[in-house]
Structure 1
C-alpha cells in the first residue's frame, strides 16, 4: 500500500484513493492526479482492501483503471452498494474509471477461429473500447450504478468530462451535504407543518415552467409546480415534500391547490387570447379518486375554459395496484377532453406496462436520459428509440431536464420537437410567467 499526504490546493478537502493491482498502474493513476495538484491518500490493491479502508476512513473518490485482466474496477460499484445498504457507508464515494481508449474491429468467429472484420477505421462496425471493454458497455454499467445510488464517471481521452471537471463535481456534491442533512432532519419532524402549509397555504408558491418548440423556441405549453419555503429550513426540495404529502394522504389536497392556481393562470392568459396547455402532476392514487374526471370538468366549465387546456401528468411516486381502476379513470378523463401525459418515461418498471395497457396523449422523456445524451451514446440510442416508439403510438413527446444549449440541438436532431429545462427557462413565479408568455406573443406578432 502506497501512502502519502494530500497536496494543498482547491481539491485538498477531497479524500481520494486509487485502486490498482500493480505498482506501475498505481503510479500512473497517481501521476494523472498529480497533474491536478492532488496526491492520493493511498493505493489499495483489491476489493477487500477497499472495504477494509472504508471501514476505518471516509473516502470521497476512488480512481481506478479499466483493464481486461482485472475486473475489480467493474465490481467496485456492487461493493459500495452493498456496504451502503448494510449501513457501513453513509455516503458512498464517487468512482472514476479511466483507461486507454482504443478503436477496435469487431471479432467474428469463423471455423472456431477468431478473425477481425475488415473495415476502415471510422466505419460504424468499429467499436470504441477502454481497457478491452466497449465504451457502450461501460456507459450502461455506469448508468445502472448511478441508478442504485453509486456515482460513476468515465474519464477518457476526448471525453466531455475530464478529471478536473469530475473533481469539481464531487466538491459541489460535498457542499450540498449539509443541505441533505437538514432535509433528513426536516423529514422526520415536519408532518404537522406540512399539514398546516397545505391547509393555510403558508409558505407555498406555485410556479410555472414553460415548454418550448425546440426549433422555433415558441412556448407551446407549461408545467405547474409547487414550492415550499419553510421558516426554519428554507426552500424544501420537491423530492422531500412530495413523499411527505403522499405519506400523509394529502396528495388530492395538493393537486386541488395546484389546479386552482393553474386555472387562475389560464384565465389571465385568456385575456390576451393565449391558450396553451398546462400540465398538473397527479399520482395514480389521486387520479383514481371517485368522480375525479367529473370534478375536473365541472371546475373548467365554471371557469369557461376548454378541457383540452388542462393536462394531467401521471407520476409514479404512488403506484396504483388496481390497474383496472387506473385504466377506467384515465379513460374517463380523456373522454371529457383532457390530455393525459406519462411523466418520467424510462424510469421505473411500470412505464412499459402502462404504455402497453393504457392510453395516453403524451409521454415525457425522463431528465436522467436527457442530461446524459451528450456524454453517452447509449442515452442517445435510448432517446432515438423513444422517439420512434412515440411515433408508432401517435404520442406527443416532451424532453425534460434540458440543461445545456448544445443538448437542445442534439435532441432536435434525434427527433424531439418539444422540451423544457433550465437551458430554455427556469420555473417562474406567476407574474413573471404571464409577462414572459405575453411578451413572446407580442414579439411574434410585431
Structure 2
C-alpha cells in the first residue's frame, strides 16, 4: 500500500465515468473520486447507456458499485469484451469495483442436512462479501477478465489510500506502451529479419534465470531464455518473437541455438564442480521432430554431460494435434534420462488436459497465480490445490513469476519449495550468471 497522500490534480488527466443506478451510490462514488481530485465525465445508469458512451468517447476508468440486486457491474467485463471484439472499443478501460464489505456466515446446507441432531453443530464459516457478493467469487471473475486483457481492481476497503493506489496504477499503465499497439508495430518485422537473426545470431542474447530453494535461497537450477534486440524496434518481447519463430517454422533452429549456449554454460559450471539442471523451452512441434531425443542425447554424450542436467520445458506456443505422437516423444525423451517440465501450469484448460494424459517430471505454476497470492484468496487456494496435485502425481514443482519478496514465505507455507522470479534474481547474461552461481557456491 502506498502511504503518501495523493498529489493535488495528480489524477486530473484521467478520463473516468461511473456506472450506478442508485442516487446514493452516485453520490458516494462522486465524493470518493472528488477527494482524489477526479471529476467523473459522466454517470451512466445502465449498460446500454454505457455502450453508447464508449462508442463515442475514450474512457480510462469505469467505477461501479457492486450490489447483489444489480448485476451490471459483474456483466461489465463481458460488455467491454463484446465491444472490443466488434471493433467498437480499441482499448479496454480499467474497471474499479467497490462496495460495502461485510463478514457473513455461510451455511453449509449439505452438512446441516446430514448431521445428526445429537452431534454438535458444524463450525460456522465466515465469508467476506462486497455488496452481497463473496469476495472469492469477485476475485475469480476478475481473474477471468484479466485473462481477457481487462484490468479489474477490487477496492475492498474503499478508503482514499486504496482508491489512490488504484488510480496511480492506471496512470502508470497508461504511461507504458500499449502491448497491442506494440504488436501491430512488430507485425511490420520482415520475415527475412527474423531468419537473419536466427541464422547469424545478430542481435540475439542468451540469458539465464536462476531457480532457488525458497527456504535456504540455495540455487537448485536455472532456465535458459533468448532475447532479441532489433536495430530499429529495440528489444522484441518474447510474446512477439516466439509466434514469429513458430510461424516461420524456425522453432527447432531456435531450440538448437539455446541448447548450444546452455551446454557451454553447463561445461563452464562443470569446471567449477557445479552441477545444476538448466531448462530449455520447447514447443510440442519441436519435441515431435523425428529423432529429437536421440540427437539431444548424442549432444550430451559428446559434451560428457549427464542427460539429467538438461531439462526440457514444454510450452503452449504450438500444440501438436497428434497427442499420441507427443506422448511417444515425451516418453522417449524421459527414457533417455532427460527431465520434462510442463510450463505455465494453470494458464489454460490445455495444461490440465496435458497433465492428465501425459507424463512429466515437473510442473511450473503460472506466474498469474503467484503474483496474486497475497491479494487473492482464490490464488492461494489454487496454489494449495496444485501443490497437493503435484504430490499425488509425484511431480516436482516450481513457482514462476515471484516479483515480491513478501510472497516468498507465503508460497513456502503453501507448499512451494522452489521458485524463480525478479524478487529472487533477474535473468542474467552468461558471464554474470556464471559469476553469480560460482560466488554463491563458494559462499555456501
Using structure 1 for the length normalisation, give the TM-score.
Answer: 0.93
> How many angstroms does 1:183 deviate by?
3.6
Query: What is the rounded CA distance, in whole Å, between the counterparts of 1:222 and 1:261 in structure 2?
Result: 13
Equivalent residue, structure 1, for 2:204: 204
Q: Does 1:382 align with 2:391?
A: no
In 2 relative to 1, CA 40–234 (structure 1 residues): closer, same or farther, beyond 3 Å?
same
Query: What is the rounded CA distance, in whole Å, between the counterparts of 1:175 and 1:98 in structure 2?
Result: 25
Q: Deviations over 1:347-389 (max 9, x none)?
A: 1222122112211000000001000011110110000000000
Query: What is the rounded CA distance, in whole Å, between the counterparts of 1:417 and 1:43 in structure 2?
Result: 49
* Alpha carbons 2:107, 2:124 under 8 Å: kept: no
Query: What is the rounded CA distance, in whole Å, between the counterparts of 2:75 and 2:353 in structure 1?
Result: 31
Query: What is the rounded CA distance, in whole Å, between the counterparts of 1:349 and 1:150 in structure 2?
Result: 19
> How many angstroms does 1:404 deviate by?
0.4
Q: Does 1:91 align with 2:91?
A: yes
Equivalent residue, structure 1, for 2:373: 373
Query: What is the rounded CA distance, in whole Å, between the counterparts of 1:299 and 1:187 in structure 2?
Result: 35
RMSD: 2.0
Equivalent residue, structure 2, for 1:115: none
Query: What is the rounded CA distance, in whole Å, between the counterparts of 2:36 and 2:279 in structure 1?
Result: 46
Equivalent residue, structure 2, for 1:62: 62
Q: Which secondary structure does the structure 2 equivalent of 1:347 belong to?
A: coil
Query: What is the rounded CA distance, in whole Å, between the counterparts of 2:268 and 2:203 in structure 1?
Result: 23
1:273-352 to 2 correspondences below 5 Å? 273-352=273-352
Aligned pairs, number: 430
1:95-174 to 2 correspondences below 5 Å? 95-107=95-107, 125-157=125-157, 162-174=162-174
Query: What is the rounded CA distance, in whole Å, between the counterparts of 1:308 and 1:161 in structure 2?
Result: 50
* Alpha carbons 1:155, 1:161 under 8 Å: kept: no
> How many angstroms does 1:442 deviate by?
0.6
Using structure 2 for the length normalisation, give the TM-score.
Answer: 0.93
Q: Which secondary structure does the structure 2 equivalent of 1:162 belong to?
A: helix
Equivalent residue, structure 1, for 2:392: 392
1:222-261 to 2 correspondences below 5 Å? 222-261=222-261
Query: What is the rounded CA distance, in whole Å, between the counterparts of 2:435 and 2:35 in structure 1?
Result: 49
Equivalent residue, structure 2, for 1:11: 11
> How many angstroms does 1:124 deviate by?
6.2
Q: Which secondary structure does the structure 2 equivalent of 1:312 belong to?
A: strand
1:23-62 to 2 correspondences below 5 Å? 23-62=23-62
Q: Deviations over 1:160-213 (max 9, x none)?
A: 992222112212221223565244212233322111100110000000000000
Query: What is the rounded CA distance, in whole Å, between the counterparts of 2:306 and 2:240 in structure 1?
Result: 34
Which stretches in structure 1 are left out of the alignment for 5+ residues? 1-6, 112-117
In 2 relative to 1, CA 27–357 (structure 1 residues): closer, same or farther, beyond 3 Å?
same
Deviates most, 168-177 or 221-230: 168-177
* Alpha carbons 1:159, 1:375 under 8 Å: kept: no
* Alpha carbons 1:223, 1:279 under 8 Å: kept: yes
Q: Which secondary structure does the structure 2 equivalent of 1:56 belong to?
A: coil
Query: What is the rounded CA distance, in whole Å, between the counterparts of 1:342 and 1:416 in structure 2?
Result: 16
> How many angstroms does 1:22 deviate by?
2.4
Which stretches in structure 2 are left out of the alignment for 5+ residues? 1-6, 114-119
Deviates most, 30-39 or 328-337: 30-39
1:177-192 to 2 correspondences below 5 Å? 177=177, 180-192=180-192
Query: What is the rounded CA distance, in whole Å, between the counterparts of 2:260 and 2:430 in structure 1?
Result: 13
In 2 relative to 1, CA 160–128 (structure 1 residues): closer, same or farther, beyond 3 Å?
farther
